[in-house]
Amino acid sequence: MIMLSELDLNYEQIEKNILKFIKESVENAGLSGAIVAVSGGIDSAVTLELTVRALGKENVKVIHLPERDVTLEQDSLDVMLHCERLNLTCEVFDITSILHVIQQSVP
């Protein structure tokens, strides 16, 4: 088993590379900002954090797409707390009815 200490990773450089990638990807697409869909999990939380660092909070829109039967209330609370910490507004769109229609149309 490889120990993390054996990898000798430069986390500051990795973060710089990720921030550069985000910024260049948005610019190369001809966009001025990004929309980040957050779930309340760690992956989307890290994505949001890095996107805000790369583009500035004024260039990031946040959406949360909970589904009544799947999304935990704690996940939605985590989303709101994270957005509050970053001083961002999060738009919430309940997708329960949309998913039910899709489920009914899939054989």
Contact 45, 82 (CB under 8 A): yes
Longest dimension (CA), the chain: 51
Task: Evaluate if residue 62 carries a pLDDT over 90.
Answer: yes
List, in order, residues 6 or more apart from 72 with CB less than 8 Å away: 40
pLDDT tens digits for range 3-60: 777 778 888 999 999 999 999 999 999 999 999 999 999 999 999 999 999 999 999 9
pLDDT reported for residue 40: 94
pTM: 0.87
pLDDT reported for residue 6: 76
